[in-house]
Each structure stands twice: as C-alpha cells, then as structure tokens.
Structure 1
Amino acid sequence: MEKAKISAIQLFILMVLYELGSALLVPLAIGAKQDAWFAILLGMLGSFVLFLVYHKLYTYYPNLLPTEYMQKILGRVMGTVLACVYVLYFMYDASRVLRDFGEMLLAFAYPGTPLFIANALLILVIIYTVRKGIEVIARSGELLFIFMYVLAISGFILIVTSGLIDIKNLQPTLEKGLLNPLKVAFSETLYFPFTEAIVFTMILPYLNDSKRAKVTMLCATGLSGINLAITMLINVSVLGVNLTERSVFPLLTTVESIQVADFLERLDVFFMVSMIIGIFIKITVLFYAATIGTANLFKVSSPSRLSYPLGIIILFLSITIASNVQEHLHEGLHVVKTILHIPLFIVVPFILLLLAVVKNRNKQESKNI
C-alpha cells in the first residue's frame, strides 16, 4: 500500500463524484418511464444493504486491501485468482467509462476527431494523476466537487427560469404500480451506478478514521442517489418520456433547450464540463484501484510504475470494447449486469463475509480455549 491517508470528507466527495460520473450521461432507469426517479431511489436503498456487507468485511481487515484479505479468507491460490478478477474488472469498467467520455466528446463538439485521440488525451491526464497517489486524487476531488455543484445549481436555476419544466410529463405516477420501478431498480440501478462503488473497498484502508467509514459511504450514496433522481425528474419533465428514452444523452438535450430572454442559450458547456469532472474522477478511482491491486498481487514496490502499461491497456480496450455507441450502451446497461455485476457485487461479497465471520469466530473460540 501507498503510505498515505485521506479524510472522511475526501472519501465522501470522491464517492459522490464517482457515482454521478457517467450515470448523468445516460437515460438512467428509463425502463420505469415517468417513474425513473423512483426506481433510482429504490436502487439506492438496495445498495445500502450491500455497502453494509462491504463495510463489515472492512472491519475484519481494516489495514488490508481486498486483494490481500481475499487470500486470507479463501487461501492463496483461490484468493489470488479472485483478486485478479476484480482488478481486471476495474480496468474493464475504466475502459467503459473512457469510451463514454470519447463518445460524448465526439457527439458534442468534435465529430471529425478520431475516438482514439479523444480517449488518449484524457487517459494521459489520468495517468499523471494516478502516479501522484491517492492524496492528490482526493484533493483534486475537493476542488472539482465545488466547481461541479456550482455548475449544477446554475443549470437548475436556468432550466426553471426558462419555463421548460412541464409537471404533466411526470404523470401518472406509479401508473403500473410498484412492480415496474422495483424491477428496474433491482435489475439496473442497483448495479449501475451504486454498487459499482465496490471499488472504494480498495480505498477504505487509506481512511484516517476507520470509524467514520460506514456513515461516509451511506451518506455519499444517499446524496448521489438524490442528485440522480432529481436529474431524471428534470429530464423527463422537460423532454417527456419518449424523447428521454430515444436520446443517447438526455441531459445534454435538456441543457441545449435552455433559453433565457433570447440572450442565454447554447449552454452545452455546462453539461460538458460537469461530465468531464465526473468521468475524470470515476476513471481515476478505477484506474488507481487497478494499479494498487496489481502492485499488491505481484509485489511491485512502486505502484506508479504500473500506471503507463495499465493506462495503455485501458485506452486500447476502450476503443475495441464495442463497434458503435448503441452496442456500447446496450452492453453496459444490460449484458454486463448478468455476467459481472451480480456475481462480483452481490454473490462473492456475501460468500466472503460468511467465510470471514466463520474464520474470525473460530479464531476467537481458539483464543478463549
């Protein structure tokens, strides 16, 4: 592990920015139609249970990275294999978010620019940040957090003053009862974006006050969930369900609609800067987790030396991951859930916790004897 510490407020900020990240880009939970906001809140509440599982594992091994305590729980061979799976997942997820950034940049401002160039520019900045360590990442998050929320509040005020919001687009509420939002919550929003924050189990050992970890994680998830729900409320109330569903980037379409007194318009830059901030933090956290996890598994004394080769792998993976943006979004919102999210976010942590409880109980009993 890097010899560094971060505060609870820095962890909180990183988690909020991470969970907002690329989730602001897509029509999140739109399968629930005008109840998308409710499906997001249900997914947030469901994620609290899983965060308590992750936190309980952390309390058993507060000074160890998950790549280390997996070996203690499962044995050296199985633990190493499982740890490698998680490291590969972090790299895969980073490449997916990098692809989100590239597609957004090309659609928004640079349609003639090769995707490789757009992605390469961001990954170079991220490599530099990761090499500086977790403390620099955390301090960067503090600065960007303030900037992002200033933009978000300004954008919200402009949307309201533009008179774009039509409450009728949000009606009827719960037209088909609770079943549809529940189905969307536990098939989509529970995994993306909330329990994707399992990556922060790699960051928790750096926390300078371990007692504040649980409250910090739950509060950060609560704030990001409320923000995402408000964002979808605005998207649907401005665009309507059908246009939100058809739009690749509905928040961009909403922001493009802003027009105040025939003077303030074309405020796409609000959307663009906010997205870059969220995506930058999300990729950086995933990349950092993959770097320190790889260094821990292969006993590399200086994790920063791994940043360039791993960054190049993430860059090329982001290009080859899908042939077009529709395939990329379909894979991220539907396919990956069954293959990766359910096993890695739910099944494996519960099994690890069960084994950790048994091992620690046996250890305690042997001490008493």
Structure 2
Amino acid sequence: MERTKISVIQLFSLMFIFELGTSVVVSYGVDAGKAAWLAILLGMCGGIILFFIYYFLYRQYPTIPFTTYVRKILGRYVGWIIGLLYCLYFLYIAARNVRDLGDLLVSSTLEETPLFAVIVPLVLVVCYVICLGTEVLGRTAEVFIVILLLFGITGNFFVFISSEVHVHNLRPFLEVGWGPIFSTVFPTLIAYPFGQMLVFTMLLPSLNRPTFTKKVWLSALICSGVILAWTTSLNIAVLGMDVAERSTFPTLATVGKVNLFDFIERLDAIVVFTLLITIFFKASILLHCTILGITDLFKLENGKRVVFLLGGILIFLSMAMASNYSEQREEGGYVLDYYLNLPLLIVIPLCMLIILMVKNHFKKKVN
C-alpha cells in the first residue's frame, strides 16, 4: 500500500474503536461472575504488560512493520513463516468479528434476511475503505468515535433514568472466590481484546509523530478497558447475573429494557449501530494489516491487487466457520484461547523479546 501518515488522534480513534469491537456487546468476562468488572480490569493490566513487550519490539524497528522485523529477529525463513501465520490469524479474527455482526443483525433486527446478504455488503465496504488507504481509514475513525461516544452517553442516560439499575445484583462481591476470576483473566481477557492490539505494530510506521506512540496506545487501552468494565457491570446490575450469563448479547438486552412513559423504548438500534461501527473498523484494521503483511512477505508492488481476493476469503471464512452463533462461541473458547491467542499474542512476542535482548547484549560486549 502507498506510504501514508496518520495523526495521533486518528491512531487513538482506531485503537479505541478496535478495543471495543464485539466486547462491548457480547457476554464479556461474565465467567468471573459478579466480579466480571474486576476481571476485565485485571485483564487490562495484563494487556498493559503485553503492550510493553510489543512497544519494546517496535522501538527497535520503528520504521518497519511487524512482519519485517519478525524476520530480522527470528531469521529469514522462520520469521517468514511466523509472519504468514500472523497474517492468517488477523484474517481469521476479522472473519469472527464479521460473523458476530451478522449473527446480531439476523437475530435482532433482520430476522428474515439471509446471513450472506448481511455479510457481503459489509465486507465490500471494508474493502473499499482499505483501497482508499490508511489515512482515509484514520480520518473516518475520527468522525465515528464521536458518534460512538454519543451513543454510549445516550444509552447510559436512558438506562439510568428508566430505574432498571439494581446495584444489589452486583453483590456479594467475590462470591465465587478468586479462582474463576484468574481463570477468566488468563489467557481469555488478556488476549481478547487487549493482546490483539499487536495488529497495530503493522500500522505504527505510518504514525506522523512516533514519539506519542506510548501515550496513545496506553490511553486507548485504559479508556477502552474502563468502558468495557463499566458496560459489563451495568449489564449485570440491570439483568441480574443469571440473565447476563445466558444472554447472547447482554448489552442489547440491557438497552432493550428502557421504557419511559410508553414512549421512549426500543432503543436496541443504539446497540446495533454501535456494533456496526466497531466491527466495521475492527474488521477493516485487521484486513488492512493482513494485506500489508501479505504485501511485505510476498514483495508485492501494490497490495490493492489482493484486497478483494482476501475480501472474498473473509466472506467465505465468516460464513463457513460455524453453523450458528452458539457453535462459533464454543469454537472461540478453549481452541482460540490456547491454540491461537496464547502462542501468537503472548509466547512468540515474549520469545522475540528475549532473543532481541540477548542479541543486543552480545552486540554491546563485542563493541
């Protein structure tokens, strides 16, 4: 893709929206019980630790993407294979997010619409934005982050004044102990969505003010983590723990309870539009970084040539990965956590960090 530059605000907008993704709508962290909000904050702290690993690697090679410096650290051939694995991982996560949006729309608002008819237009728009370049994607995020915040404020306001919030649903605190909290935090909440921020190491060379990378990344991570913890606690306070655990999209159910004077109701559209915006940007970022990685690994002159090819693969993956939403969530449990997220987001970056530190140590000794 062409060399473009994005501003600090644009990067923050992209990171913030990416972090929210599907997490703001699905049953996020509820395996930890009523202490789900605490589990999310602990997951955020784990995400901060991962950030410092990613940031250290980036600072050694600030002008090249992740798929390039993984070859410099792990060797030409091993690094190439690892880089390709990351590209396939980004594409797979994009497909999962597109499928989540399709399932939400089909189950909540477009019940008679085929899933294919929902996914294809979304992916085509994603491909179109990617063709326009990183800068256009960043500018679009600047606009939509304001809309997202307005949706969030509006939804929270109406939920509170509708007298549906019952704080006692959040008590007793730690009724199931620390065990379920820690098992939920690692590796699930650390990797998703905080560890998935690794994808931005493909975009950071495009930042026009690299010195602000650390502040922007940490700000986006902390802000999104706090909002996710707040949203989950609000869902439990409104729905109760039993309903929040069983609900496929608890945020949708929470906002759906708003009924003021039999006039202001059916605010589900706020949640649907929120997920539409977050998934659009998350899928766009993931697919864009996949294309950047493929362009780098295969030394293509122009990544735009493979945009719609990978878009077609994205459509196929999102349709074929599961027959229904429950099956998809089950597949995204143990297998995704321990066979994809754990090695790709935690183990390999940590190994790269150790190898790089050893290399730097011996270079200093030689000099």
Q: Which has the larger displacement, 177-186 or 73-82?
A: 177-186
**Structure-1 separation of matches of 2:133 and 2:177:** 48
Describe how 1:154-193 pairs up with structure 2 within 5 A: 154-193=154-193
Secondary structure in 1 aligned to 2:22?
Answer: helix
Match of 2:151 in 1: 151
* 1:61, distance to aligned residue in structure 2 (A): 0.5
Please say if residues 27 and 250 of structure 2, whose CA atoms lie closer than 8 Å, have aligned partners that are also in contact: yes
Match of 2:321 in 1: 321
**Structure-2 separation of matches of 1:289 and 1:362:** 33
Q: Tell whether 2:106 aligns with 1:106.
A: yes
**Structure-1 separation of matches of 2:93 and 2:161:** 38
Match of 2:341 in 1: 341
Secondary structure in 2 aligned to 1:24?
Answer: coil
* 1:62, distance to aligned residue in structure 2 (A): 0.5
Match of 2:273 in 1: 273
Secondary structure in 2 aligned to 1:22?
Answer: coil
Q: Which stretches in structure 2 are left out of the alignment for 5+ residues?
A: none
* 1:331, distance to aligned residue in structure 2 (A): 1.5
Q: Tell whether 2:6 aligns with 1:6.
A: yes
* 1:178, distance to aligned residue in structure 2 (A): 3.0
Q: Which has the larger displacement, 105-114 or 51-60?
A: 105-114
Match of 1:241 in 2: 241
* 1:177, distance to aligned residue in structure 2 (A): 3.3
Q: Tell whether 2:56 aligns with 1:56.
A: yes
Q: Tell whether 2:291 aligns with 1:283.
A: no
Q: Aligned partner of 2:227: which letter?
A: N
* 1:364, distance to aligned residue in structure 2 (A): 4.0
Q: Which stretches in structure 1 are left out of the alignment for 5+ residues?
A: none
Match of 1:29 in 2: 29
Q: What's the TM-score, normalizing by structure 1?
A: 0.97
* 1:114, distance to aligned residue in structure 2 (A): 1.3
Q: Tell whether 2:196 aligns with 1:221.
A: no
Match of 1:140 in 2: 140
Q: Aligned partner of 2:294: which letter?
A: T
* 1:2, distance to aligned residue in structure 2 (A): 3.0
Match of 2:205 in 1: 205
Match of 1:38 in 2: 38
Secondary structure in 2 aligned to 1:32?
Answer: helix
* 1:3, distance to aligned residue in structure 2 (A): 1.1
**Structure-2 separation of matches of 1:331 and 1:37:** 24
* 1:365, distance to aligned residue in structure 2 (A): 4.0
Describe how 1:289-304 pairs up with structure 2 within 5 A: 289-304=289-304
Match of 1:231 in 2: 231
Q: Which has the larger displacement, 2-11 or 291-300?
A: 2-11
Secondary structure in 1 aligned to 2:332?
Answer: helix
Q: Aligned partner of 1:16: which letter?
A: F
**Structure-2 separation of matches of 1:286 and 1:183:** 27
**Structure-2 separation of matches of 1:365 and 1:117:** 61
**Structure-1 separation of matches of 2:153 and 2:113:** 31
Q: What's the TM-score, normalizing by structure 2?
A: 0.98
Match of 1:310 in 2: 310
Q: Aligned partner of 2:241: which letter?
A: V
**Structure-1 separation of matches of 2:113 and 2:176:** 44
Please say if residues 32 and 180 of structure 2, whose CA atoms lie closer than 8 Å, have aligned partners that are also in contact: yes
* 1:11, distance to aligned residue in structure 2 (A): 1.2
TM superposition outliers: structure 1 runs of 4+ over 4 Å: none
Identity %: 40
Please say if residues 196 and 345 of structure 2, whose CA atoms lie closer than 8 Å, have aligned partners that are also in contact: yes
* 1:352, distance to aligned residue in structure 2 (A): 0.8
| Count of residues paired in the alignment | 367
Q: Deviations over 1:110-154 (max 9, x none)?
A: 112111111001000000001111101101101000001001101
* 1:182, distance to aligned residue in structure 2 (A): 2.2
Secondary structure in 2 aligned to 1:27?
Answer: coil
